[in-house]
Amino acid sequence: MQSLKLAARLLALAALSLAPTAAAEAYALRTVQPGDSIGLIADRYGVSVDAILSANDMTTSLIHPGDVLKVPYIEAVGGPAELGSRTPPGFTWYTLREGETLSSVATRFGLSVTAVVGANPDISSMDRLPTGLELLIPPSSGLVVRLGASDDILALLGQHDITPAEFARANGLRSPFDLTPDMLLFLPGVEPTEALARLQKVREEEKRYIWPLHGRLTSYFGARNLGMGTSSFHRGIDIAAPTGTPVGAARSGTVTFAGWSTQGYGNLVRVRHADNSETWYGHFSSISVSVGQYVSQGAIVGRVGSTGISTGPHLHFELHERGTPIDPLGILR
């Protein structure tokens, strides 16, 4: 609560630059005009007569033109009960329809996927969201956070280099008393790095192995007899593509081998993944990674070639689990 009080003092200063009538102690300053009464002023600002009398240490409701009254914002903005669940200015709710994805929703509203994730950093997936889910649609890129009772707002603003005035404008805050626990706050321009990293891990679990290359399958996993000194059992799949076509990592991991293989693979790259499974990429014309390098899913590890024992340019791809090659076709997504 101490940090909220400190934030309140700073936001009070920010409010001065946003509304000419805002005072340093979060009061609107109202100069009494001819015909004004305490009741009329209270109605205009949405506060009680008693609140105005108390704020100005008045014992009667008698006022005169030219008097300056303090009108407490804490009631003028509705109080904590109304503020907890409101959304920042410019935000709307959208219900996900059947067949829609996060990407299609972003396109629909002219936003990036990152912007939509920033407004909904607690979603469980980027690819498998259920129909009927309500998504918060932002006016621009940034990060939405929910205010906790002990959150240090000043530290958060400092961390992201956001000024109090900028923060107040983005959230429609007229007064430090607008800050209440559990309300949604918008940090403009802040990238949702933690949410994106978490969702990337979720995506990898949902799409554990992606196709390293899209092309024509020329040889399947299993028994075969090509001669040429090759094994009678094909331990992977072959995907034909023009020489030089980039090949992506089927899954993120660490490169354990990158070089010439004496087993017929030619230029070979092997990547070990978090569960100790491995993917092998053979016959490269060139290798794009080195041993010990960490590669993200989809990152280029090499380019299609015909090195080693090969009948033409293609990628030979193997998937090993528990040290044994398995058919990748049932797993690739």
Tens of each residue's pLDDT in the chain, 333 residues: 555 555 555 555 454 444 433 333 455 667 788 888 888 888 776 778 888 888 888 888 889 888 888 777 543 333 333 334 468 899 999 999 988 889 999 999 999 999 999 999 999 888 888 888 889 999 999 999 988 767 777 788 889 999 888 888 898 887 655 677 778 899 999 999 999 999 988 888 877 899 999 999 989 998 866 555 555 788 999 999 999 999 999 999 999 999 999 999 999 999 999 889 999 999 999 999 999 999 999 999 999 999 999 989 999 999 999 999 999 998 898
Tell me if 48 is assigned to some domain: yes
Structural domain including 315 reads 216-330
Q: Which of 21, 45, 79 is the last residue of a domain?
A: 79
Residue 184: which CATH number? 3.10.350.10
Same domain membership, residue 243 and residue 182:
no
Output the 3-class SS for the chain: CHHHHHHHHHHHHHHHHHCCCECCCCEEEEECCCCCCHHHHHHHHCCCHHHHHHHCCCCCCCCCCCCEEEEEHHHHCCCHHHHCCCCCCCCEEEECCCCCCHHHHHHHCCCCHHHHHHHCCCCCCCCCCCCCCEEEECCCCEEEEECCCCCCHHHHHHHCCCCHHHHHHHCCCCCHHHCCCCCEEEEECCCCHHHHHHHHHHHHHHCCECCCCCCEEEECCEECCCCCCCCCEECCEEEECCCCCEEECCCCEEEEEEEEECCCCEEEEEEECCCCCEEEEEEECEECCCCCCEECCCCEEEECECCCCCCCCEEEEEEEECCEEECHHHCEC
Q: Which of 184, 206, 228 is the last residue of a domain?
A: 206
pTM > 0.85: no
